[in-house]
Structure 1
Amino acid sequence: MMEFWIIGTGALVAIACGILGCFLVLRRMSLIGDAISHSVLPGIVIAFMISGSRDSLGMLLGASVLGLITVFLIQLFQQSGVQSDASIGVVFTALFAVGVVLISLNARQVDLDLDCVLFGEIAYVHWNTISVLGIDFIPKSVWILGITVLFILVIIGLFYKQFKICAFDPAMALACGIPVALFHYVLMGLVSMTTVASFESVGAILVVGMLIVPASTAYLLTERLSVMILYSVLIGIACSVFGYMIAAWLDASIAGMMVTVAGAIFAIALVFSPRHGLLMRLRRRRKWAEVAG
């Protein structure tokens, strides 16, 4: 049963991140998940200072608020002429530093550090269960991530065309009357919610890996967004299953092995992709050289 909940939790993270990651990759904002995972630290510390406890709900709320503030600041800087990657770097490093300072000033005697707020351990998810509707054997992380996945599926399903047009051609979306800024903030809000919801269960590192790598792999395999999302989700689930199996065999970090498997799959796709792979590019160059010669 332990294996089932660990793999199931990883699969839920893979589904949520696989869907959102495709839109982030297309918009060249893959590292936004990494930015949010670090910049929410001040919100966690402030929530602790207000409540006086490490209650999960309070910290999640504080982190969620800072996640939205992060997205707002990044967008504000971009509109001011700062490049996208520079905006992300400035915001998350500055807010992360503020969080470190707040911890050093107000929480020195409390176990409130990066290990307990950012780098969760997926191997322990089956121990933390809660009772919902009389069901008391399902881990808390499964409930939280399950609700998150359901919410993402509803929002993306209802507004799929709008998100698709905004991802490929924002100018066309504006011409069609689609509120591009609104859907941008909705997407970033979903990313923030997913990142925060996964803190205690799997940790931000696994979330960032699942946001970027499966979607990037799927991008190499297809040029259709719907197929890309499907491939991204399936690759993420496969990484969860095989990552756990290899980690159990080697007695290694489960989250780290899941992302390692994802990286290995990406490397294979990078070489053998039928459209964008290195081998295909090499063949094209040889054909062009023969034609030119």
Structure 2
Amino acid sequence: MGGMTGFLSIDLPAILAATFACLSCALVGNFLVLRRQSLMGDAVSHAVLPGIVAGFLVAGTRDTFPMLAGALVAALVAGVLIELVRRLGKVEAGAAMGVVFTGMFALGVVLIEQGAARAVDLDADCVLYGQLEAVLWFGPTDLSSLADPAVWSTLPRQVVQVAVVFFLCLALIVLFFKELRLVSFDPALADTLGIPAGLVQHGIVALTAIAAIAAFEAVGSILVIAMLICPPATARLLTDDLKAQVALSLLVGGITGVGGMSWAPSGRWPWGLRRR
């Protein structure tokens, strides 16, 4: 498979998956960076393991929905536990995250070693680095075939998943931008004005969990952490205006998503040319 067909079937879906994953993580990461909770993404990516295993145990299947649902519940539980440890233990947020996500990761390993969970096939390389090379789209044969709606209905599940999550994150951030901005810069003032800072914080954790879990299958836990932190941190260095920061983080995220795939380990450019 080569030429345009190879690009449409192999390169394009991987580029789309990587780019949408980067965009959704960059959006949410802006508010983690502002709240100095950048390692929340690291905590979430480790804490979801027991949820994935629990989803398998409850459903008895490795289908995507039950395992993603379990991962989301685990991520939300981790967010609540981090806040409880921070407040009750009177420790700084980084220490609370370290305690919670290492504990939950250990719990996930224990669950894997028990009973029916032994049937779960977890490849360490896939967990760390994802499987972008497995995102294949066999519908299109040439550019003209993209005009056929039936071809788009065969778009890989991973691409649809991260695209839906990106637009969900975008819609929620646009809708609650004022509240997110106020809570990120001055949570005490937000509480005074009747905006529940704690609830907004849990919402940020939930969005982080959704973005990380959606991207997890395609790009792995290491790149999810980088996607949550690097684009918004880069944008933060370039501007002090939050709206401009969000826009710049999307630009950086889009460039890195496409650029990262351009220098894939296979040595092949997305448009089918070989690097020298």
Please confirm whether the aligned pair reaches a TM-score higher than 0.5, indicating the same fold: yes
1:19-58 residue CA offsets vs partner (Å, 9 max, x unmatched)? 1111100101001111111111111111111222211111
2:104 aligns with 95
Q: What is the one-letter code of the residue matched to 1:228?
A: Q
2:186 alignment partner, one of 169, 184, 189: 169
Q: Where in structure 2 are the equivalents of 1:113-262 lying within 5 Å? A: 113-115=123-125, 119-126=129-136, 135-247=152-264, 250=267
More off after superposition, 118-127 vs 30-39: 118-127
Shift of 1:120: 2.0
Q: Give yes or no for contact 2:231–2:253 (8 Å, CA) kept in 1.
A: yes
**1:109/1:221 Cα in 2 relative to 1: closer, same or farther (>3 Å)?**
same
More off after superposition, 162-171 vs 241-250: 241-250
Q: Give yes or no for contact 1:23–1:167 (8 Å, CA) kept in 2.
A: yes
Q: Give yes or no for contact 2:137–2:154 (8 Å, CA) kept in 1.
A: no
Q: What is the one-letter code of the residue matched to 1:9?
A: A
1:110-132 residue CA offsets vs partner (Å, 9 max, x unmatched)? 42354455642112212599xxx
1:126 aligned counterpart, secondary structure: coil
Q: What is the one-letter code of the residue matched to 1:16?
A: S
**1:41/1:219 Cα in 2 relative to 1: closer, same or farther (>3 Å)?**
same
- Structure-2 separation of matches of 1:169 and 1:206: 30
Higher relative contact order (CA 8 A, sep 6+): 2
Matched, 1:56 2:73: no
- Structure-1 separation of matches of 2:128 and 2:67: 11
Shift of 1:109: 4.5
Q: Give yes or no for contact 1:122–1:203 (8 Å, CA) kept in 2.
A: no
More off after superposition, 142-151 vs 186-195: 142-151
More off after superposition, 117-126 vs 147-156: 117-126
Q: What is the one-letter code of the residue matched to 2:86?
A: Q
TM-score after normalising by structure 2: 0.84
Q: What is the one-letter code of the residue matched to 2:108?
A: G
**What's the Cα RMSD here?**
2.2
Q: Give yes or no for contact 2:180–2:200 (8 Å, CA) kept in 1.
A: yes
Shift of 1:108: 3.0
2:79 alignment partner, one of 67, 71, 79: 71
- Structure-2 separation of matches of 1:227 and 1:97: 40
